[in-house]
Amino acid sequence: MKAIEAYQLTKSYGSVQALKGVGFDVDRGEIFGLIGPDGAGKTSLFRILTTLILPDGGGASVDGLDIVKDYRTLRSRVGYMPGRFSLYPDLSVEENINFFANLFGVTLEENYDLVAPIYRQIEPFRKRRAGKLSGGMKQKLALCCALIHKPDVLFLDEPTTGVDAVSCVEFWEMLARLAEGGISMLVSTPYMDEAARCGRIALINEGEILQICPPPDHLEDYFIDLMQHHGQSH
């Protein structure tokens, strides 16, 4: 059973077609990168796979569960970190983590081992309000909160946007460790250099997947070539 299987997903907002038949699959324990510019349809895809919005056509299953029929069960099995900081800025680090743990009926102590590598870095600031953390710290906290219930599949929508270079490297190292532990991941990013850290990547532009492949060298040139080529063929 694959971690994620998606086929022919379409989604439109009014006259704008955000997704034009997207299909791919993600293996267990794989970090699958979704690389594409702003407005490529990455966030729509994330929202469909995390059951937040319904696709117009096509279908998908995550962790073997249908994203439309089994959405209730599915919601307790996935971890989701939205594109923008979506924690409570007026609650402290600790309060945020405990709240999200409670949401899934678990405690921080229970799953401490899983989040420990990340949590230990923000633990010194556990009494600090989340809104007062630096960008990198915020992302680590958000990852902690998304992981606290031991999800099988993790969805990370642009987790490193607006984070300094050093924190980015650290962040990707953490993701690699989590993947080794068996967690499957779908990660989107607009940064080409981060793609090298994924097992496989899908290049997405204007609601279409152009290519799925292992991260090639000189991805940037490759992607631009691909986009131009694709533009000519239309």
Burial of 79 (0-12, 13-18, 19+ CB in 10 A): buried
Contact between 121 and another protein (CB under 8 A)?
A: no
Please give the DSSP secondary-structure letter assigned to residue 127: T
Contact between 205 and another protein (CB under 8 A)?
A: no
Q: How many residues in the shown chain lie near another protein by CB under 8 A? A: 30
Residue 54 or 224: which CB sits closer to another protein? 54
Question: For the sheet containing 4-13, what is the strand order?
Answer: 16-26, 4-13, 57-62, 65-66
Stretch touching another protein by CB under 8 A, among 21-29, 101-109, 165-173, 193-201: 101-109
Q: How near is the Cβ of 50 to another protein at its closest, in Å?
A: 5
Among 91, 169, 212, 227, which residue interacts with another protein (rule: CB under 8 A)?
91
Residue 149 or 197: which CB sits closer to another protein? 149
Contact between 104 and another protein (CB under 8 A)?
A: yes
Among 19, 31, 36, 50, which residue interacts with another protein (rule: CB under 8 A)?
50
- Strand bridging mode 16-26 / 153-157: unpaired
Contact between 132 and another protein (CB under 8 A)?
A: no
Residue 17's identity, in one-letter code, is: Q
Of residues 144, 143, 7, the one with CA closest to residue 62: 7
Of residues 169, 188, 136, the one with CA closest to residue 26: 188
State whether the Cα torsion 102-108-109-115 is positive or negative: positive
Stretch touching another protein by CB under 8 A, among 2-10, 29-37, 51-59, 180-188: 51-59
Site for another protein, rule CB under 8 A: 47, 50-54, 72, 75-76, 78, 80, 82, 84-91, 95, 98-100, 102-105, 145-146
